[in-house]
Chain A
């Protein structure tokens, strides 16, 4: 029941957000807001595996870009599909990749999983770079439709609404997991995997669920990207800054709860949008790196930890 109330509250926040954005009536608000929302989804997805279960994933960019490239493929083969359907397919593709990755490496120590995710990102990037159908290293162009298909307004508003809906879904999912048996299993693995295994927690199964869910959400977050950027090349799709941001946001906000990544994503995402416009994009990335290092050293429980004694 509490979950239902939470979803309603989250939906209300989403509706208010959209209404405010419509009132401001400036395309830039939607472009910048889309990026912040995308990071809410990515940070929340990362936190399901990284924060709840304790396995660090450096391959966010790979899951994200695979979702985006799934859309490129679908756009070329079945252009009539609506965007939410493409996102679903992108999510399934990335989720399956996550499952396969997890199956190969999750029986090892956590560090090996982390290194393997880095490795996976480069393998995936090399495959895409050499795959001519999706543009190879030249990249792929996608023409963004001019109007929203379901309400009157620009297409960017539609992308914004889609991403808003996905953030509501992923945050509600993360919160539901946190208070469920699944979530307790995850935190048992994070705190002491050996003890969890010994007390009958099916650790491998739970880790695979976490990896698949996390990867799937990242893929869904990436799926609308080609319509947002209209030109997608492997170097930008697989950019390391996605991985850094997605790790920095939960760690800055606090990894133990569903709320931490949301706070981190809103703060850091907005800060970056402002810094990119006012200073430069390289400096805004440097800012993220410095904040990440400062927070892991000085505030190991993140911003959420300041308010919980």
Chain B
């Protein structure tokens, strides 16, 4: 039984670290879907885009993937603002955001994926950094730096977003939009300007999330789809737009997936996220910690 206890301990620890990473991947959707009510199903495609920009910075110029992703934040922020602008002009102002807005983002997801396939092919890509190989050891527990570094980066990302939301004027304005855009309009503020900034932030988070994704696993364009389910499962389970809920839901999912792939084999792990999502939607659609 010693062996399986080791296995269990390692599965729990790597699940915990994986959960931290999932939280970083989801945080953008917690902003766009949870707070702004924009169903950006193309979000994972932008994360993969972030992976590829980190890959280029790393393999062509030899930069550190995480540092380069932080440098690229403004570019992703502008991309997000541009996409929101198109979305706002074409759908929100016409009051026709539901079906066509969804189809729009679905199209964007598909275009991004196919373009990446055309440019980079379907080969798996990797980055090279000093923390990709080694592990720390504590007794029987292994802590691969490949998972630990993304976990720490992810904590920093979510922490700084939380500070921004709670303590700055703009952050509070975003929360106001999330609570009641109509009331904001009555106060004479323009919600679409604030939403544009918030959506920019949500896409900007993809740069960092993409960089830590390509540190954790090799990336090819179509893995975006595996993340759609995980991201929305976590976002819904975490109660839409609550950062704390997102982290807890992400860790639960990470641990469940890690246990499943350790004890039943990795081919079953995609079903965990989606099964969870279906059960959450059927039983408690407001999320584990959401207000009903």
Contact = CB atoms under 8 A, between A and B. Distances in A.
Contact of A247 (B90, B103, B114): B103
Contacts of A286: 111, 114-115, 118
Contact of A114 (B102, B104, B225): B102
B111 A290 contact: yes
A127 B277 CA distance: 16
Interface residues of B, number: 41
A201 to B, nearest CB: 19
Contact residues of A: prevailing secondary structure: helix
B96 A288 contact: no
A108 interface: yes
Interface in B273-290: 273-275, 277-278, 281-282, 285
B185 interface: no
Interface in B78-136: 86, 90, 94, 96, 98-100, 102-104, 106-108, 110-111, 114-115, 117-118
B229 interface: yes
B232 A240 contact: no
B263 interface: no
A244 B232 contact: no
A251 B105 CA distance: 14
Interface in B235-278: 236, 267-268, 270-271, 273-275, 277-278
Contacts of B232: 115, 118-119
A247 B90 CA distance: 18
Nearest to B222: A240
B66 interface: no
Contact of A112 (B228, B229, B281): B281
B111 A251 contact: no
Given A122-B270, A289-B107, A115 B100 contact: no
A126 B257 CA distance: 14
A137 B265 CA distance: 14
Contacts of B236: 112, 115
A296 B108 CA distance: 11
A255 B39 CA distance: 20
Contact of B267 (A126, A283, A290, A293): A126
A58 to B, nearest CB: 7
Interface string A123-167: 101110110000001000000000000000000000000000000
B233 interface: yes
Contacts of B267: 126, 129-130, 137
Contacts of A115: 39, 41, 232, 236, 277, 281
A306 B232 CA distance: 36
Given A119-B233, A119-B274, A289 B281 contact: no
A71 to B, nearest CB: 23
B6 interface: no
A105 B106 contact: no
Interface string A91-117: 000000000000011001011101110
Nearest to A129: B267
20 contacts: A50-B99, A105-B281, A114-B39, A114-B102, A118-B228, A119-B229, A119-B273, A126-B268, A130-B268, A243-B106, A244-B107, A283-B118, A285-B114, A286-B118, A288-B110, A289-B110, A290-B111, A292-B103, A293-B104, A296-B90
Given A56-B99, A119-B233, 5 more contacts: A114-B41, A115-B277, A119-B278, A122-B226, A122-B271
